[in-house]
Amino acid sequence: MAAKKETARPGTHGDFAEDDLEALRHAILEEMRMEAVFDGWTLQALKRAAFAAGMTQEEWSRGDLYRAFPDGIADVLTFWSEQTDLAMAEEYASADPAPQRIRDKVTWLVRRRLELLDEHREAARRAAATLALPPYANVARRLTWATSDAVWRALGDTSTDYNYYTKRTILSGVWLSTLSKWLAEEELEGENAYASTWAFLDDRIENVMQFEKVKSKLLKALPDTSNLFGFLGKTRYGSARD
């Protein structure tokens, strides 16, 4: 089967194979994470990263960087987050031994998601600072939700009712607070590395479990809202037969 082709954007020459575009994104991201440590997530740093990744002046002039990341820094940060979410889910699928209790499963995934950032912790810290800026507010919300969604999907969650939203909203809070704790923690070696963060995460998960117990009791006293939330859920997942 022929490689998938992208329609050329204005300012570029001909088609660009999707596989080549994906390889370019990975190469630029690798360089950008190093550039960001010193200069932050800026367009100037992105341009340097592109050339460090092997982009020629001709490729730059015809718009190959724009083709890889049309929205610049926002797209690079999105790509990094998506790739890390994917790696987290893939590692969970092959975990041996696999955690058994739901709290242990969620803890495993959130912890692994952070550990995958460890090699580029300073770049991640700079990324968090960038995403905290007003122009990136929507990107930050979208990536937070996407990571929470990736955790629940890795666990096989296919809810389409109110649980879809409550699970992801609550986990988004756990993820953001734990990420902040991890980024701020003093870096240690060996078994003590990020011990404070993992204890913090355990406490947050325990809070969630307690909330779920209270919520379960509360819902028994509420009227049936399945039709409403079922409709809302289908806007996310589609019907079970899709």
- In the chain, domain spans: 14-70, 80-237
Among the listed residues 195, 182, 208, the one whose alpha carbon sits nearest the alpha carbon of residue 120: 182
Is the pTM value of this prediction over 0.75?
Answer: yes
User: Which pLDDT belongs to residue 233?
Assistant: 47
Q: What is the pLDDT of residue 14?
A: 40
**What is the spatial distance between Cα 196 and Cα 193, in angstroms, rounded to a whole number?**
8
Pick the residue with more confidence: 20 or 182?
A: 182
Please give the Cα distance from 109 to 178 (Å, whole number): 12
Give 225-233 contacts, CB < 8 A, sequence gap 24+.
225/161, 225/162, 226/161, 229/160, 229/161, 229/162, 229/164, 229/165, 230/160, 230/161, 232/160, 232/164, 232/165, 233/159, 233/160, 233/161, 233/164
Q: What is the pLDDT of residue 191?
A: 67
Q: What is the average per-residue pLDDT within 7-14?
A: 35
Of the listed ranges 32-46, 79-93, 139-153, 155-169, the least confidently predicted one is 155-169
Average pLDDT of the chain is 84
How confident is the model over 111-169, as pLDDT tens digits?
999 999 999 999 999 999 999 999 999 999 999 999 999 999 999 998 888 889 999 99
Burial 35-61 (b: 16+ CB within 10 A, else e): bbbeeebbeebbbbbbeebebeeebee
User: Average pLDDT of 181-188?
Assistant: 84
Distance CA 123, CA 129 (A): 10
* The predicted structure's pLDDT at residue 216: 57
80-237 fold = Tetracycline Repressor; domain 2 (1.10.357)
Give how far Cα 64 sits from Cα of 28, 74, 167, 171, Å: 11, 16, 39, 37
How much is the pLDDT for 237? 46
